[in-house]
């Protein structure tokens, strides 16, 4: 990698935070592992200082051939300095890790194995059920993905202050929990893993269905979710079927990201998408993990959702009866309003809109914009006035400008048909 020219200040300033966000997360994870998770603040400070030093140095000298190694060396030295200057090691850490070594003996290795293991432990530390789901996602973004507070606030359409408070509260909770995850038993991993997978799933959804007014997708969030799941899939402790199923699901959904919005940022619905824009590499990865996921008898909601995504992404034929049955099973395993609505849509594709309207009438989801969107679709061709009414309801209930436009277009279409 050629060094960026020294006078390219702006480029370097932009490049460093974005490009090395993941390196920052890795450094924090490894340092936290050495210091103990309760000293994550110290680890983050050292990582930040290393980046600060990098920025100063690289602005003058250009970015080196191996930036990661450079960063890790700086972090390593700073960590050692910190321990030397601080009573922290002698009094607390030494006792905690029952070490017989002196400060100079701790080498702060940054090899691949240690990085992967530290990141894995960090995932479990961060995805702690003591915090509500939104807080977990924020923590995951900050600590696992290296997002800044501003970037997180942007993703959630929140003020930076709100995010800051949320993070403070969440971290305080973790501190009282004790950050006790030095080594998890297989049973603990299994129970905590469900929380982890849920957090990653929600993180992906944030990116995929972003409520952010002006953007339909936040690709960053989607790719971070995949990266974290990949970490789990590649570690012997956590490469179980439902992890593979989740990974397959995320790959299938991601394969369509480029086709879901046009250049103006407007939503393109599934039937209108240009299939050439679907990413074949991601679809193939999805298939690979999908097959892996069925190695045992285990059937999770992620298996079912991956199955549905598989049908949507790879097969064009008579897929709707299969999809309907998968939604039946999914709902029987775990109810969600979105699944109920999607199931009814599949029902319509198999048995027609009139039958589906009877099914939809049984759903008690009148405050849900997607429900009214579905009803609008079902009544199209049957009762235009009712269709318009439902689409208007959907319009008022959604906060997404992109979705509002979709519903407005539908209403305009129905109105023009009447004339």
Partner 1 sequence: MNEFVFIFRNSVSEGARPSPEQMQQLLTEWMNWMGSIAAQDKLVDRGNRLSMSEGKTVKPGNVLTDGPYTEVKEFINGYTIVKAATIDEAVALARECPILKIGGFVEVRKIVSPEDNS
Which residues contact partner 1 (rule: CB under 8 A)? 321, 324-325, 327-329, 331-332, 335, 339-340, 343-344, 347, 359, 362-364
Structure tokens at 386: 């009712």
Report the residue number, 27 or 324, with the smaller CB distance to partner 1.
324
33: part of which helix (H) or strand (E)? helix 21-35
**Shortest distance, CB of residue 129 to partner 1, whole angstroms?**
23
The DSSP 8-state label assigned to residue 37 in this structure reads: G
Q: How far apart are CA 280 and CA 286, in angstroms?
A: 10
Q: How far apart are CA 45 and CA 77, in angstroms?
A: 13
**Shortest distance, CB of residue 321 to partner 1, whole angstroms?**
8
Counting Cα atoms < 13 Å in the Cβ hemisphere of 329 gives 15
Report the residue number, 270 or 335, with the smaller CB distance to partner 1.
335
Measured CA angle at 396 (ends 392, 400), to 5 deg: 115
Alpha-carbon dihedral of residues 9, 29, 37, 102, nearest 10 degrees? -90
Q: How far apart are CA 19 and CA 13, in angstroms?
A: 10
Report the residue number, 178 or 317, with the smaller CB distance to partner 1.
317
Q: How far apart are CA 211 and CA 398, in angstroms?
A: 9
Report the residue number, 354 or 364, with the smaller CB distance to partner 1.
364
Q: Are 173 and 131 in contact (CB under 8 A)?
A: yes
**Shortest distance, CB of residue 330 to partner 1, whole angstroms?**
9
Structure tokens at 416: 């023009």
Report the residue number, 138 or 323, with the smaller CB distance to partner 1.
323
Report the residue number, 363 or 386, with the smaller CB distance to partner 1.
363
Q: How far apart are CA 243 and CA 226, in angstroms?
A: 11
**Shortest distance, CB of residue 374 to partner 1, whole angstroms?**
12
Report the residue number, 126 or 330, with the smaller CB distance to partner 1.
330
Token pair 């030093």 in the structure block, residue: 53
CA distances from 336 to 14, 305, 361, 373 (A): 41, 12, 16, 17
**Shortest distance, CB of residue 376 to partner 1, whole angstroms?**
19
DSSP 222-286: HHHHHHHHHHHHTSTTT--HHHHHHHHHHHHHHTTHHHHB-TTS-B--GGG--GGGS-HHHHHHH
**Shortest distance, CB of residue 331 to partner 1, whole angstroms?**
4
Nearest to 286 by CA among 267, 302, 262: 302
3-state secondary structure of 101: coil
Report the residue number, 311 or 347, with the smaller CB distance to partner 1.
347
**Shortest distance, CB of residue 216 to partner 1, whole angstroms?**
27
Report the residue number, 275 or 362, with the smaller CB distance to partner 1.
362
Nearest to 306 by CA among 229, 221, 375: 229
Report the residue number, 180 or 355, with the smaller CB distance to partner 1.
355
**Shortest distance, CB of residue 224 to partner 1, whole angstroms?**
32
**Shortest distance, CB of residue 302 to partner 1, whole angstroms?**
18
**Shortest distance, CB of residue 342 to partner 1, whole angstroms?**
10
């Amino acid at each position: 990698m050629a060094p960026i020219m020294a006078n390219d200040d702006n480029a370097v300033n932009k490049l460093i935070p974005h490009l090395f966000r993941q390196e920052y997360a890795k450094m924090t994870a490894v340092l936290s592992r050495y210091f103990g998770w309760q000293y994550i603040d110290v680890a983050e400070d050292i990582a930040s200082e290393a980046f600060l030093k990098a920025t100063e140095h690289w602005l003058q000298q250009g970015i080196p051939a191996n930036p990661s190694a450079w960063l890790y060396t700086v972090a390593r030295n700073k960590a050692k300095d910190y321990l030397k200057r601080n009573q922290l090691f002698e009094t607390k850490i030494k006792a905690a890790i029952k070490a017989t070594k002196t400060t100079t003996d701790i080498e702060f290795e940054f090899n691949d194995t240690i990085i992967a293991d530290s990141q894995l432990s960090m995932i479990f530390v961060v995805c702690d059920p003591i915090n509500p789901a939104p807080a977990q996602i924020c923590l995951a973004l900050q600590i696992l993905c290296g997002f800044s507070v501003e970037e997180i606030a942007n993703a959630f359409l929140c003020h930076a202050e709100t995010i800051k408070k949320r993070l403070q509260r969440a971290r305080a909770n973790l501190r009282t929990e004790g950050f006790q995850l030095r080594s998890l038993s297989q049973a603990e991993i299994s129970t905590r893993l469900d929380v982890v997978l849920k957090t990653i799933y929600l993180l992906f959804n944030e990116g995929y269905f972003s409520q952010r007014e002006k953007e339909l997708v936040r690709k960053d969030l989607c790719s971070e979710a995949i990266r974290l799941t990949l970490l789990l899939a590649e570690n012997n402790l956590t490469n179980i079927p439902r992890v593979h199923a989740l990974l397959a699901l995320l790959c299938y959904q991601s394969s369509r990201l480029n086709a879901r919005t046009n250049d103006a940022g407007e939503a393109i619905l599934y039937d209108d998408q240009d299939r050439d824009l679907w990413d074949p590499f991601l679809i193939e990865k999805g298939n690979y993990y999908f097959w892996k996921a069925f190695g045992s008898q285990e059937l999770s909601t992620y298996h079912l959702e991956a199955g549905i995504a598989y049908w949507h992404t790879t097969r064009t034929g008579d897929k709707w009866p299969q999809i309907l049955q998968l939604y039946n099973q999914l709902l029987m395993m775990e109810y969600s309003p979105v699944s109920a609505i999607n199931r009814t849509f599949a029902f319509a594709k198999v048995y027609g809109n009139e039958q589906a309207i009877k099914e939809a009438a049984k759903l008690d989801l009148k405050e849900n914009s997607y429900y009214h969107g579905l009803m609008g679709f079902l009544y199209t061709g049957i009762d235009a006035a009712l269709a318009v009414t439902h689409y208007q309801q959907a319009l008022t209930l959604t906060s997404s400008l992109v979705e509002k436009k979709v519903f407005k277009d539908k209403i305009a279409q129905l109105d023009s048909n009447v004339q």
